[in-house]
Amino acid sequence: MPARTPRRTIALLVAAALAVAGGALVVLAGPGSGTGPPAPVAAGAPVPGVVGTVRDGARPDGAVLPPSPPVSISIPSIGVESVVNQVGLAPDGTLEVPAPGPRYDQAAWYRGSAAPGFRGPSVILGHVDSATDGPSVFYELGRMRAGQEIVVERDDGITATFLVDAVESFSKDAFPSRTVYGAANRAELRLITCGGSFDAAAGSYRDNTVVFAHLVSGRRG
């Protein structure tokens, strides 16, 4: 279980909505809500198989690592220590998010994005909280600031360290998919969770919090 702010009771139904490439949004109701997942907040094209690709043969901007999936993530500034699972696409082509159960409070890597440290944006997402258990893995994500570190352990034994460039909050009604998921010619990282005020009628938060970071080092062991 990741380190985080002590749990608190949340009376409102909590739902995590994460923006995906093409403008599609997927919503997952919090466990214990007594309802199934609501319909997508906004329609859009299905997520492409790979996000943020660049033309073949282009020289990367800065060092990149060979592809290897992540296994854990550490964010010292906000006390996050979590394994990293993998998510793909739902049958309707929208992005999966961690489902209710033992992995709900763990981070997840979208395996259609770049591996952390490889060229392009790597997308790791996590819930902000739940109706029954309170704060989740990315509850404090909005407190991050430029210059802080994110450490991702990869399956090949390489530790990839990223430096935060910016932390932004975007309305889900105007989510900048190109900015978040667009092509990048260096190794970049996106951490995504819900944010802003809670819309009880829609059953979700109104915004997404996105951390933008880039690779600064990779070492084995």
Under 8 Å between Cβ of 114 and 187: yes
The per-residue pLDDT string of the chain (221 residues; one tens digit each, 9 = 90 and over) reads 333 333 322 222 223 333 333 333 322 223 322 222 322 222 233 444 445 555 555 666 778 999 999 999 999 999 999 999 999 988 877 678 899 999 999 999 999 999 999 999 999 999 999 888 899 999 999 999 999 999 999 999 999 999 999 999 999 888 888 899 888 999 999 999 999 998 888 888 889 999 999 999 999 97
CA-based nearest residue to 107, from 90, 89, 87:
87
Helix (H) or strand (E) holding 179: helix 177-181
Under 8 Å between Cβ of 14 and 130: yes
- The pTM of this model reads 0.77
Domains and CATH numbers, the chain: 15-49+62-220 (2.40.260.10)
DSSP 13-51: --EEEEE-GGG-EEEEEPTTSSS-PPPPSS--PPPPSSS
